[in-house]
Structure 1
Amino acid sequence: MNTIGIKDVALRAGVSIATVSNVLNRPEKVARGTRQRVEDAIDVLGYVPNLAARQLSGSRGSMVGLVVFDVRNPFLTDIARGAEDLLHAEGRTVMLCNTDVLADKEERYLQLLAQQNAAGVLITPADLNSHWLEGLRARGLRVVLLDNAETYPDVCSVAVDDVAGADSAITHLLARGHERIAFITGPMHMRQSKDRLAGSRQALERAGRPAEVLRIVEAGAFTVDQGRRAGEQLLTASERVTAVFCANDLLALGVMQTAFRAKLRVPDDLAIVGYDDIHSAATAGVPLTSVHVGGYDLGKAAAELLLDEDRPGHTHRRLVFPPRLVERNST
């Protein structure tokens, strides 16, 4: 049986071999109509690109890796959709990778993406540091951080101003007279946890409240289950809090479930604020007050920054999106 090659695709589509190569490796450089003819020829002929040959040639593929810490998180799903919509329109494909905030798991995915000659990576790092960034560059991977990377000006990043968002949440609770507040977050080494704790403390300091007003609970992950466990921990404490600020909505929904099981009234007995403003926040048993951030727009912006790396005159940029508090019945 004869093997279908790139020459056969070029002949059927009526284009040069170089054009077919561009469609496979740099589709953004090919006019939409021409690209469609080549893709139709590939489909009709059943042509399968030789990945090994493309790797040896050093050409960069059309795949973009989206590496996040929990694909179950609706906010990260919104980011993924925003990135995928823009990249698909540019002829790119997206490989979604879930790390569970495990450095070893993240490393395996990054190694795979490098082996596949991925066009780049959009990533929420398990542990952001200079050595880690140098390792990505050594692999030849372009990268855009989904992280508030203010100390890394030599890489593009997209994030939300989590300090300001947390500040608005705690300020909101203080304005309603709460003096015993809990802050529940996921792993404390993550940038999101650090920034949201800093914003909480900033609000307390500005209001002249002592730091002891805030009780910090570190959960194992940003999930509903971990929120339930954190809620149980708070409700069995000797001194009850009257309000809870959670570093994401899944944690907040878990706390709310625990409160309901304990026959507590929300917000009369316990006020709850979340973060991210996912779709289910507004439809919870008691609609959840939450800090809104635009995950879809953030994902699109990250993808655009990655594509911009190939354009003349590209400069690294750090885009920080402003959050806003959405008040609902839970407070």
Structure 2
Amino acid sequence: LATPMSVMVGVGKAAEAGVLIRNGEALQTASQISAMILDKTGTITEGSPQVTEIQLTGNHKEEDILRLAASLESGSEHPLALSIVESAKAQGFTLSKVMNFNAIAGHGVEGEVDGSTLLFGNEKLMEERSISINHHIADAQRMASEAQTPMYLALNGQLAAIIAVSDPIKKDSIEAVKRLQANGIRVVMLTGDNRATAKAVAEKVGITEFVAEVLPEDKSNKVEELQAQGEIVGMTGDGINDAPALAQANVGFAIGTGTDVAIESADITLMRGSLHGLADAIAISKATLRNIKQNLFGAFIYNVAGIPFAAGVLYPFFGLLLSPVIAGAAMAFSSLTVVSNANRLRLFKASEH
């Protein structure tokens, strides 16, 4: 009873805190986490970015640029793409059909809209397709330093605009990161964003270690890299491209507001969407482990003390034998002690400070 009772109560206690734990192994391993990897978009941030700035570099009108970009991005499911589509729809623009759409992982998208060839993505994509952006890199860097994500839009092989999107940081992310760090956990942020944007967001939430411009397939490689350093790694994400890293980590945490694929790949799901759920899960895990050890200690004490008496160690000296009635009562009391101690976990409260 010692371990299953504690695990059962611990899983129930976690559920009360909005933390759904898939199995007892994940609950126990969470207490040993030494490094926590956080995806940026939708995990540290709200995952609902907004278009904040459009800087034209050619002779096009702003509304034309936004309509073309939104038409192109209507074929994508990325949060940044959705923000551009929503912005265009909010202004009443009618989107055109996109032809030959192609998503380039970690770089951007391409396609044809209204007979024009469009490229929309990051600096790497522009460099690969030989689109000249030299005179506008400083503008993009300025946007990035303000925690915005700048994206280049090329029209028929010429840079037409830089569109900046900003994803607000969740209100409680800063406090949640502090809680993790206070527990001695190494916090690392991963993002596909450029380095300047990543640095600005990391500084705001108090994270010193981050990796920017990460391709989807590189996320699980980062998990393996930390594991090779001897870290017990937790990975937190919400998107389809986080699924391999969630599966690779010692414990995968999925944000409940994220994709079904991420939730299915994770060991633990945070229903609140708040990073406080991470610290709560780890705190409940540690409390459960302590409870298991107390239960095992109590159970062993009963057995270590009772078995010699039952074996007749006092009989040669005093002629005393342990009555089966007393032995049965002691065994029942041992079980009662274990169950009662496990139920003490119900009183546990994870502090958010």
Q: Same fold (TM over 0.5)?
A: no
Higher RCO, 1 vs 2 (CA within 8 Å, ≥6 residues apart): 2
TM-score, length-normalised on structure 2? 0.37
TM-score, length-normalised on structure 1? 0.39
Q: Which has the larger radius of gyration?
A: 2
From the two aligned structures, give the one with the greater helix fraction: 2
